[in-house]
Amino acid sequence: MQYRKTQAIINLDSIRHNVKQHQNVIGSNKKLMAVVKANGYGHGAIPILRAAVKQGVTWAGVSSAEEAIQLRKAGIKLPVLLMGGWYPEAVPTFLEHNITPSLYSLQQAELLNNYALQQDETIEVHLKLETGMGRLGFSEHQLSNFFKKLGSLNNIKIAGVFSHLSSADEQTTDFTNKQLETFKKRVEQLKQFTDLKWIHIANSAGTSTVNDGISNLYRLGISMYGQPTSDHISRKLNLKEAITWKTAIAHLQQYPKGYPIGYNRTFHTKKDSTIATVCVGYADGYSRLLSNKGVVLVRGQRVPIVGRVCMDMFMIDVTEVENVSLYDEVMLIGKQGKEYISATEMASWLHTINYEVVCNISSRVPRHYQP
């Protein structure tokens, strides 16, 4: 039984639609990896992945062994790439759960090779190249050292090579082009030593723009959830925002002009006012930075948050909403009547990105799925 009205509704049809949009862009001979780290950017990794697989996605991307194991335990058979950094303790899980780790240093290559040798097995890896992100990957110099050692690393199989674009969402493509050039050059070098089944560098923004002639896999994250990366890219795509986040009015109260609302009295009513209290707060992932700043929808009308966002509640001024009633739906992200608040708009109030808004919706908020 669910007693609270705060919930996130995820439309899986939108997920499939967004995947399809990207498939149309990259063409049928190239494949997509569904990036479902951080519990599918807050949407729920497993239902999202199942929807994406139905639409033809062939890889899953995660950021930790824990996330990969969660997929395996749910019966996901897809190849899973651990794209992020990892620690020695995770190595046994790679063979046990058939996880493909990223390989980004010689030290880690030796670690993997030694473990695989002990087990009389081979670990498949995707080699990560540093091309301008400054995060994880072999530099040019490290790569040539790695080549020298490759002959002795018999229990590692390099099944793929990848890198990460830092600026694919920008209007100017100079830096991305530079990264692509570096990537291509290094991939060509690598091809002299080993066959490469999978070559990939693009994230969502890159998926819509990168046609580098060598990539055959595209790592689709935020845009799969229908979140735009930037106006100029996403305008071309007709994305559908998959998440709706809503709650309901729990209490309605009249206050006289000048009445203080919320912790530390940061708001006083400007006139006799109707103030509604809703049961969602920063423990649900609704940022406290939206105190006296955020906007929600009630009866299709934009209404402001007044006072501080509390842990479990906040107050809104509904004085101007005709016929406002107890238990009325309150839309935090989504459409109501003719009005719409997107995660991207909410992110702009917070001076952050839509990624953070959706990832932050906490586990306390139940997710419901529309097939």
Q: Considering only the stretches 21-29, 213-221, 282-290, 358-366, report the one whose residues sit in contact with ligand PLP under the rule CB under 6 A.
A: 213-221
Catalytic residue among 37, 225, 246, 286: 37
Rounded CA-CA distance 237/26 in Å is 12
Shorter beta-carbon distance to ligand PLP: residue 47 or 137: 137
Give yes or no for residue 23 binding ligand PLP (CB under 6 A).
Answer: no
The alpha carbon of 293 is separated from its chain's Cα centroid by a whole number of angstroms, namely 25
From CA 199, how far away is CA 31, in angstroms rounded?
A: 10
Site for ligand PLP in 114-153 (CB under 6 A): none
Of residues 67-86, which lie at the interface with ligand PLP (CB under 6 A)? Answer: 83
Selection from 330, 285, 291 nearest residue 307 by Cα: 291
Is 101 among the residues that bind ligand PLP (CB under 6 A)?
Answer: no
Phi, psi of 106 (to 5 degrees): -65, -40
Is the Cβ of residue 241 or residue 317 nearer to ligand PLP in the bound state? Answer: 241
Q: How far is the CB of 61 from ligand PLP (least distance, A)?
A: 6
| Choice between 93 and 229, CB closer to ligand PLP | 229
Q: Minimal distance in Å, beta carbon 202 to ligand PLP?
A: 8
Asked if 100 interacts with ligand PLP (CB under 6 A), we say: no
Tell me if 166 sits within 8 A of 177, measured CB to CB. no
Nearest to 46 by CA among 21, 63, 67: 67
- CB–CB of 247/283 below 8 Å? no
**Among candidate residues 97, 95, 89, the one with its CA nearest the CA of residue 67:** 97
How many residues would you count in the chain?
A: 371
Comparison of 67 and 317: residue with beta carbon closer to ligand PLP: 67
Other C-beta atoms lying within 10 Å of the C-beta of residue 173? 13
CA 97, CA 179: separation in Å to the nearest integer?
33
**Least separation, in Å, of the C-beta of 279 and ligand PLP?**
31
Query: Site for ligand PLP (CB under 6 A): which residue of 8, 32, 35, 129?
Result: 35
Residue 42 is a binding residue for ligand PLP (CB under 6 A)? no
The CB-of-120 to ligand PLP minimum distance in angstroms stands at: 31
Active site residue 259: no
Alpha helices, DSSP H, located in 283-352? 343-349
Cα separation of 226 and 16, whole Å? 10
Given phi > 0 = left and psi -120 to 50 = alpha, else beta, which region is 279? beta
Q: How far is the CB of 268 from ligand PLP (least distance, A)?
A: 42
Based on the shown chain and the rule CB under 6 A, indicate whether residue 163 belongs to the binding site for ligand PLP.
no
- Judged by CB under 6 A, the number of residues near ligand PLP is 10
Asked if 244 contacts 9 with a C-beta cutoff of 8 angstroms, the reply is yes
Segment interacting with ligand PLP (CB under 6 A) among 118-126, 214-222, 231-239, 307-315: 214-222
Largest CA distance in the chain: 80
Footprint of ligand PLP on residues 220-259 (CB under 6 A)? 220-222
354 binds ligand PLP (CB under 6 A): no
What residue ranges in 94-190 does DSSP mark as E strands? 99-103, 123-128, 156-162
Unique residue bearing structure tokens 């990460």 = 164
Give the active site residue among 20, 149, 263, 293: 263
Does 43 help bind ligand PLP (rule: CB under 6 A)?
Answer: no
Q: How far is the CB of 322 from ligand PLP (least distance, A)?
A: 41
One of 43, 164, 246, 308 touching ligand PLP (CB under 6 A): 164
263 labelled catalytic: yes
Q: Is 12 in the site for ligand PLP (CB under 6 A)?
A: no
Bridge-based pairing state of the strands 156-162 and 198-200: parallel
Residue 84 or 281: which CB sits closer to ligand PLP?
84
Q: Least Å distance between CB 362 and ligand PLP?
A: 20
Under a CB-based contact definition with an 8 Å cutoff, are residues 6 and 333 in contact?
A: no
Q: Kindly list the catalytic residues.
A: 37, 263
Residues that bind ligand PLP (CB under 6 A): 35, 61, 83, 164, 203-204, 219-222
